[in-house]
Chains A and B, each alone.
Chain A
Amino acid sequence: MATGSNVLTDLGRTQARTAGRRLKWQPGRLFVFILMCVLAVFFFFPFFWTLMSSLKRIDELNTFPPTWLPASPQWVNYQHVLTGVPFVLWTYNTLFISALSMLGTIITASLVAYSFARFRYRGRDLIFMITLGTLMLPAQVTLIPQFVLFHRLKMINTLTPLWLPAWFGGGAFAIFLLRQFIMTLPKELDEAALIDGASYPRIFWQILMPLCKPVLATICVITVIGVWNDFANQVIYLQLPEILTLAVGLNYFRTLPELGGQPTQHLLLAASVMAILPIIVLFFATQRYFVQGIVLSGIKG
């Protein structure tokens, strides 16, 4: 792990340096560069097309041949989405689940990781193996009993089933990531504090947690993106239009035949843009924590 661990974080810098050294222009490299540009267009085009389509009038959207740019940008499409369906409420619900899941995950997963990394007790390694084992299991096998459980608790059509599990350890991946990180911190820190009379909760809270900030940030980002992109869980627990999240709301909106007497195709694209945009902004703001997650997990081969 040691050799590869800082590889991605240094990636940008290393590449910039070597690029400076090899200024010699080779035809092979030109070919690679052109290939990358073609691929960039392939990956970016759908975003561009969606944005442009979301600004067209419905008849222009269905014109053949399609136009590259909207004849006159219909910003009003976005306004229609916001007023026609409870889009703001869906966004709020998504943010609510994200925030509570995030909080639950970082609080409980770090406690559990602290326990795995620093304490010795019977059954620890077995429980840790089981923890990793849950990563391999398909959600389908736990989904139905969980649904029955939340049904019994009368929590269907509430947001609770979507954030509550995060408060019970936050899932194997978060625990694993934090455990790996805590294990790299020198144990002498804990021991010194222990000798000075600090209790275990205090060591956890005042010594280890501040040092874990980078990996906690990574887990926050991963959790939020997970909630934002989750559909399978949300579609099972949320069925009433007034309690949907963005993902399920978008799907519900899709099944509406019309909105205010007009077809919804262009509005759906505008809604899609509004669902994609926040997550992309978040990604740009937190990109380095993202890459860190992969580095920290020690997965690199």
Chain B
Amino acid sequence: MVVARTELPVRRRSLGVIGTLVGANSRLEKHQALWGYLFLLPWLLGLIIFWIGPILASAYFSLQEYDVLSPPKFIGLENYVRAFSGDKQFWPSLWRTLSYSLQVVPIGIVMSLGLAVLLNQKFKGTPFFRTLFFLPSLTPAVALALVWTWLLHPQVGPLNVALGWLNIDGPGWLTDKLWALRSLVIMALWAGVGGNGMLIFLAGLQGVPQELLEAAEIDGAGPWGRFWNVTIPMISPTLLFNLILGIIGALKVFTLAFVATNGGPSFSTWFYALHIYNQAFNYFRMGYASALAWIFVVILLVFTYAQLYLSRRWVYYGGESG
């Protein structure tokens, strides 16, 4: 798009105020720019109505006491104070969400990468396996929760029956407050590891230059050495991408807990997003829920920024032509 502007600054006089506003240097550019804005219009409106407006509104609500029906009342930072010091479920729900993410993300990334490595071996049936691994990620979350309620059923669920064969007394899974969170982790992993993340890893693996792997082999590197010292650095941008998306996705966990356990038993799966939902749509504390949402945004931004910052140490962009 860079056009060398060798000609002198053109007379803008003829283009009028609009011409200056759209940054045009000629009649054609002005004409073009106006068409550009026209085509952009739906999204410009969309950005304002559904993104920028709501973001500002939610910042505004977070300083109010507001239940939708009666007019909002300004209360300053009270909602934030209440979140940090007066809400019994605030910190626990945050730690729970973090604990869930710390289980789902690392295991999920390792398993996705593992599956992608397996699929990257040259086999005849690979497309078949790829499809099969992908199917769980298509399951609607409500159906997923219903299905796993039976798979994890304490008595007649196949998992506990299988554990019974090994003489292990399986736990109550979703009904046991020590195991409910782990059950959700298992469900999320089943549904997630073969999904888009795996496909992205697979694309990354296919982009690793064969020459590098062969050169390493000639230099005497074994399969593990090649994997750690060639493949991993070469796919590190993909790894970063999946890590960031994975963490954002895990911190937002909502539907699974809403349907499978509804936050229970005894709050053991009461995640942060569920907390926001309940404050907003069960108790109609829109102001307080907005404050919670803003705290959440800050946490997500900190996580994402920290990862991008740390990534300078381990992500390698050199060999890609991306």
Contact = CB atoms under 8 A, between A and B. Distances in A.
A25 interface: no
B40 interface: yes
A280 B248 contact: no
Instruction: Find the residue from B34, B140, B234, B241 having the highest chain A CB count within 10 A.
Output: B140
Contacts of A291: 199
Kindly state the interface size class of chain A when it binds its partner: 35 or more
Contacts of A89: none
Interface in A43-59: 43-47, 49-50, 53
Contacts of B151: 46, 49
Interface stretch (B79-87, B88-96, B154-162): B154-162
A246 B140 CA distance: 9
Contacts of B273: 140
Interface string A224-258: 01001101100110000000001110110010000
Interface in B34-90: 34-40, 42-47, 49-51, 53-55, 57-58, 61, 68
A65 B148 CA distance: 18
Interface in B243-300: 248, 251-252, 254-255, 258-259, 273, 276-277, 280-281, 286, 289-290, 292-294, 296-297, 300
B36 A149 contact: no
A301 B239 contact: yes
Contact of B45 (A111, A149, A168, A301): A168
Given A122-B23, A235-B258, A300-B238, A279 B138 contact: yes
A139 B253 CA distance: 12
A91 interface: no
Report whether over half of chain B's contact residues are helix, strand or loop; otherwise say mixed: helix
A157 to B, nearest CB: 13
A258 B190 CA distance: 30
A15 to B, nearest CB: 5
B190 A116 contact: no
Interface in A1-59: 1-4, 7-8, 11-12, 14-16, 18-19, 22, 29, 32-33, 35-36, 39-40, 42-47, 49-50, 53
Nearest to A125: B1
B178 interface: no
Nearest to B123: A19
B136 interface: yes
A115 B147 CA distance: 45
Interface of A: 1-4, 7-8, 11-12, 14-16, 18-19, 22, 29, 32-33, 35-36, 39-40, 42-47, 49-50, 53, 61-66, 108-109, 111-112, 114-116, 118-122, 124, 127, 130-131, 134, 136-149, 151, 165, 167-169, 175, 200, 204, 225, 228-229, 231-232, 235-236, 246-248, 250-251, 254, 265, 268-269, 272, 275-276, 279-280, 283-284, 287, 291, 294-295, 298-301
Interface of B: 1, 21-24, 29, 32-40, 42-47, 49-51, 53-55, 57-58, 61, 68, 115, 118, 121-127, 129-136, 138-143, 146-148, 150-151, 155-158, 161, 190, 194, 196, 199-200, 202-204, 206-207, 234-239, 241, 248, 251-252, 254-255, 258-259, 273, 276-277, 280-281, 286, 289-290, 292-294, 296-297, 300-301, 304, 320-322
Across the A-B interface, the 7 shortest Cβ-Cβ residue pairs: A168-B46, A119-B36, A301-B238, A169-B43, A122-B23, A115-B39, A145-B54
